[in-house]
Amino acid sequence: MAYTCLSCESLKATLIANPDSVTVIDIRDQGSFDAGHIGSARHVDNSSVDAFLLQADKLKPLIVCCYRGISSQGAADYFNEQGFQSTYSLDGGYEQWKLLP
């Protein structure tokens, strides 16, 4: 396991303190992303992952968000293998995120 799990509360605090310090990607389907997502998140799926890998700053921490924090674990591990220095799986995913005050 080459990624770390990150709580929604920790991500929210990071985004409030320094929103440009991390990259957030959302790997849910386009319809779910369009219905709601973390404000700074970028939608990445199988059709856009190659372009994302070419453009992304691999030195910046990468937080991967999915529905409930399960699929993001494998994706975070994959992105770590692609050269990202720090990868994180968002615990509870977007379903947990949207419950934050």
Q: Extract the tokens encoding 16.
A: 């409030």
Sign of CA dihedral 32, 33, 35, 36: positive
Q: 89: closest CA among 4, 1, 24?
A: 4
Residue 25's beta-bridge partner residues? 42, 64
CA dist., res. 60 & res. 67, Å (int): 23
Catalytic site residues?
A: 66
